[in-house]
Amino acid sequence: MLRTKEQYREKLYSMRDNVYIGGKCLNRSDPLVEGGINVIGVTFDAAFNPETKDLVTATSHLNGETISRFLHIYQTQDDLYKKQQMLRKLCHVVGGCIQRCMGTDGSNGLYVTTKEIDDKFGTQYHERFKKWLDNAQRQDLVVNCAQTDVKGDRSKRPSEQVDPDLYVRVVERREDGVVVCGCKAHNTIAPYADELLVIPTRMMKEDDADWAIAFAIPADAEGVSLVCRSTSSRPRKHLDAPYNHYGMCDSMTVFDHVFVPNERIFMNGEYKFAGRLALSFANNHRFSYCGCKPAVTDVIMGATALVADYNGIAKAGHVKDELTEMAIIAELVYGAGIASAATANVTSSGAFEPNFLYTNCGRYHAGMNIYHEYDVLASIAGGFPATMPPEDDYFNPATKAYMDKYIMRNPEFSAEDTHRLFRFISDLSVSAHCGVSQYAGVHGGGSPVMERIGIRGFYDFESKKQIIRDLAGITANNSLHEGVMGKK
């Protein structure tokens, strides 16, 4: 059953208080969590809006109900394409990350991988996961994916760390479940999610079997603490605007002897599949970026084009060039997502999985350009978004007339609209909220170097050499397999 935004909010407020921000334990009704809740609220509203409901809902293959597309498992290549369209559209509404795809990507990764584990070991994880998902779909839950461990020394595997809790691990196995300890980092939406999907973050070896654990847990379960950072667009006193109601929290999610019952465990020691599950989630999440990141570029591009109009420089050659370049970045990333959807592979579970190569190329291109896009906006907006006086000075009778007079640029646009535009650009690009978005653009779904490693491992460089052998008339195939790319 589709929930309303109000039902979602009501359930959050009734959860156990385990959200910590700024040295205090808060109820989820605290204003510091509000901006993120408002973003997720948009996904609930869109499911009832006649204009967006076809994009934002889907028919469950598990129970035949109309469900949120954020909880849907890809049954066709078109499902993947629709997800991409949905993300681009909803990210426009909030002016940035729509945040709810973490659960979609974790669910799709688990759906595919649990089947593969069962196929290999005769375990029952896939049926368990389907039951959990069926319930999540029926209750229209908001789900975070807690993948990234705090990781300690990056050069060491989990079992090699000085402190074994630096990766989430099983500390006790019982007949009815397991007890886990550890901490996941950077968990977006965790303080306003109903459930956390916890999965491994890397490949593992036999010694790491206790760390090869995947499960679902309510976000307020006993022993779970969410120590969070919160940013929102700056609140407005006078010029209220939709963008200023949105924000985001990320948590360090601490598991202190948390009991996970058997029915919520989806991997338990099958270390050979830890890498497969980690990469399956990453592939799905990087695919999400091919939909959401073009939307972020659209927002920066729109702000750049509009401020060029306001500044009276829209016809300048460098402005047109920079805008064209931004359009190329947005559409190449989006195009990579479309290619990834169109060539998606069907897995043994029957679900489709985005094409790894196109997904990673798209995500990489997005990550490498994020700072450049802000650079273009800053260069065309001028310095005012950084130095403009606070909102109050535009409304103080002693200074209002000066402020209104001297903010004017192109006379076609009023003082108030000019003020609104520059304050928006300031919130978008000269703020704590912006800094977080920039880092998210680089690291979310994996750092660019991880995408490069992924592409390198997947790519068939040998076939490219063969093209040259054929063109050059070289008949011997005496290729050195051990090249810069390693053994094929």
Q: Does 367 interact with ligand FAD (rule: CB under 6 A)?
A: no
- Closest separation in Å from C-beta 203 to ligand FAD: 11
Task: Give the residue among 263, 214, 187 at the shortest CA–CA distance from 112.
Answer: 214
Q: Which of 121, 371, 402, 439: binder of ligand FAD (CB under 6 A)?
A: 439
Q: Which of 220, 250, 427, 451: binder of ligand FAD (CB under 6 A)?
A: 250
Q: Which of residues 276-335 bind ligand FAD (CB under 6 A)?
A: none
- Hey, what are 453's tokens? 């490693």
Of all helices (H) and strands (E), which one includes residue 437? helix 432-443
Q: Does 91 interact with ligand FAD (rule: CB under 6 A)?
A: no
- Closest separation in Å from C-beta 127 to ligand FAD: 25
Q: Which of residues 131-170 bind ligand FAD (CB under 6 A)?
A: 144-148, 151, 154-155
- Closest separation in Å from C-beta 434 to ligand FAD: 12
- Closest separation in Å from C-beta 451 to ligand FAD: 10
Distance (Å, rounded) from C-alpha 336 to C-alpha 359? 6
Query: Among residues 227 and 239, whose Cβ is nearest to ligand FAD?
Result: 227
The interface region with ligand FAD, picked from 164-172, 183-191, 212-220, 410-418 by CB under 6 A, is 183-191
Query: Among residues 166 and 303, whose Cβ is nearest to ligand FAD?
Result: 166
The interface region with ligand FAD, picked from 50-58, 293-301, 433-441, 476-484 by CB under 6 A, is 433-441
Query: Among residues 295 and 338, whose Cβ is nearest to ligand FAD?
Result: 295
Query: Among residues 88 and 433, whose Cβ is nearest to ligand FAD?
Result: 433
- Closest separation in Å from C-beta 305 to ligand FAD: 27
Query: Among residues 264 and 285, whose Cβ is nearest to ligand FAD?
Result: 285
Q: Does 253 interact with ligand FAD (rule: CB under 6 A)?
A: no
Q: Which of 177, 354, 446, 454: binder of ligand FAD (CB under 6 A)?
A: 446
Distance (Å, rounded) from C-alpha 41 to C-alpha 367? 27
Distance (Å, rounded) from C-alpha 133 to C-alpha 139? 10
- Closest separation in Å from C-beta 447 to ligand FAD: 4
Q: Does 186 interact with ligand FAD (rule: CB under 6 A)?
A: yes
Q: Which of 188, 233, 349, 429: binder of ligand FAD (CB under 6 A)?
A: 188
Answer for the pair 114, 126: CB distance below 8 angstroms, yes or no. Answer: yes
Query: Among residues 378 and 434, whose Cβ is nearest to ligand FAD?
Result: 434
Length of the chain: 488
- Hey, what are 345's tokens? 């592979």
Query: Among residues 311 and 360, whose Cβ is nearest to ligand FAD?
Result: 360
Query: Among residues 395 and 439, whose Cβ is nearest to ligand FAD?
Result: 439
Q: Which of 52, 364, 436, 454: binder of ligand FAD (CB under 6 A)?
A: 436
- Hey, what are 145's tokens? 């994916």
Distance (Å, rounded) from C-alpha 79 to C-alpha 427? 34
DSSP 3: P
Distance (Å, rounded) from C-alpha 441 to C-alpha 364? 10
Secondary structure (DSSP) of 309-377: HHHT-TT-HHHHHHHHHHHHHHHHHHHHHHHHHHTPEE-TTS-EE--HHHHHHHHHHHHHHHHHHHHHH
Answer for the pair 44, 71: CB distance below 8 angstroms, yes or no. Answer: no
- Closest separation in Å from C-beta 420 to ligand FAD: 27
Answer for the pair 274, 243: CB distance below 8 angstroms, yes or no. Answer: no
DSSP 185: E
Of all helices (H) and strands (E), which one includes residue 254? strand 247-261
How distant is the alpha carbon of residue 200 from its chain centre?
17
Residues 6+ apart with CB under 8 A from 418: 310, 407, 408, 409
Query: Among residues 169 and 423, whose Cβ is nearest to ligand FAD?
Result: 169
Of all helices (H) and strands (E), which one includes residue 428? helix 415-429
Query: Among residues 77 and 233, whose Cβ is nearest to ligand FAD?
Result: 233
Number of shown-chain residues binding ligand FAD (CB under 6 A): 23
Q: Name the one residue in this structure whose structure tokens are 């909803």.
A: 90
385: exposed, middle or buried (C-beta count within 10 Å: 0-12, 13-18, 19+)? buried
**What is the SS3 string spanning 154-170?**
CCCCHHHCCCHHHCCEE
Q: Does 187 interact with ligand FAD (rule: CB under 6 A)?
A: yes
Q: Which of 447, 452, 474, 488: binder of ligand FAD (CB under 6 A)?
A: 447
Query: Among residues 137 and 251, whose Cβ is nearest to ligand FAD?
Result: 251
CA distances to 78, 142, 230, 377 from 188, rounded to whole Å, are 27, 12, 10, 26
Q: Which of 102, 170, 421, 425: binder of ligand FAD (CB under 6 A)?
A: 102
Q: Which of 41, 440, 451, 454: binder of ligand FAD (CB under 6 A)?
A: 440
Q: Does 443 interact with ligand FAD (rule: CB under 6 A)?
A: yes
Query: Among residues 136 and 381, whose Cβ is nearest to ligand FAD?
Result: 136
CA distances to 151, 158, 266, 274 from 208, rounded to whole Å, are 13, 6, 17, 10
Task: Give the residue among 55, 92, 71 at the shortest CA–CA distance from 144.
Answer: 71
Give me the residues that bind ligand FAD (CB under 6 A), please: 102, 144-148, 151, 154-155, 186-188, 250, 436, 439-440, 443-447, 449-450
